[in-house]
A and B are shown apart, each in its own frame.
Chain A
Amino acid sequence: MTVLHVVALAAVAAGGTAVALARDPVRQALVASVFGLSLALLFFAFQAPDVAISQIVVATVAVPVMVLLALTKLRRDEEQR
């Protein structure tokens, strides 16, 4: 267990708590993006570059964009009513 492992695990735990406790969905999407980056750092520390590559693209770009697009659609539907 090196210092890098401990720091990465602490960052992941803090990021997960921040995602779960965020109240506004838009803010939560951006916090989830940062949480995904910290997870990718942890995967690199665990000697798993393949997992880290897919985690970087998926959790930092794809999932927050999908969430923000869905929220835009929901807000637009709400304005229609």
Chain B
Amino acid sequence: MSVRPRTVAALLALAGLAALIAWAASELTPFGTPSGPANAIVRTLVHERHAANTVNGVTYDLRGLDTLGEELILFVAALGSAVLLRHGRGEDVEQERGEDERGAARTPDALRAAGTALVGPLVVLGVYVVVHGHLSPGGGFQGGVVLAAGLLLVYAAGQVMALKRVEPTALVEVADATGALAYALVAAAGLVFATAALENFLPFGTTGNLLSAGTIPVLSVAVGVEVTGAVALILTELLDQTLLRGGE
């Protein structure tokens, strides 16, 4: 279809879709009065499982199977983008040296100083958000992306060549796989130690302590490691594509 008839057809179709959605929206329960069992769920999680952050509790306990599927999507997507982007790598590795010195000279000094100073606090914040997920807003997904953003800060601070020496690709791949495996193992451990998979079988403790709520913080840390690994893998692959391949 050429451009003009396609635009007209799209306008008509989208207008029809918008009208149908507006009609359906007028029949939804009015905004501000949900009809679900929200209060009952919160009370179950607090009184039985002793988890203060009920969103975290829902993610890793009441709907833990959904989270297993979601983190496996994350794992497969990181794997897919690594496979797609790694195909042509290894060409022109000898151009690395020249690019390195030029890159270091171009970054302004204020940016390098601020970036280097902030990486440490950012990593600590990310670990805090992951580990305290069941007590305050946070959890595996949030802390994992904060930690992966630390990798970007290292790149912005112009230290990416120092990072290369640590061989980050192998490290993030190992982190990614370890997180996914840990989640699956804890889920299977529910089968071994309790009656069903993903059952919350560790002791619950008291609400508000760091070691409480059973398997929820364990699963949260596993997902945090896995999300860090997956997002850092994607960013490492993209950075490798643009930095080290000075030419083709």
Contact = CB atoms under 8 A, between A and B. Distances in A.
Direct contact of A and B (CB under 8 A): yes
B143 to A, nearest CB: 9
A62 B145 contact: yes
Contacts of B238: 66, 69-70, 73
Interface of A, secondary structure class, is helix
B98 to A, nearest CB: 15
Interface in A35-78: 48-50, 53-54, 57-58, 61-62, 65-66, 69-70, 72-73, 76-77
Nearest to A70: B238
B39 to A, nearest CB: 14
Interface size class, chain B: 20 to 34
21 contacts: A1-B32, A48-B55, A49-B137, A50-B138, A50-B142, A53-B129, A57-B142, A57-B145, A61-B149, A62-B148, A62-B149, A62-B152, A62-B231, A62-B235, A65-B152, A66-B238, A69-B242, A72-B242, A76-B242, A76-B245, A77-B248
Interface of B: 31-32, 53, 55-56, 129, 137-139, 141-142, 145-146, 148-149, 152, 231, 234-235, 238-239, 241-242, 245, 247-248
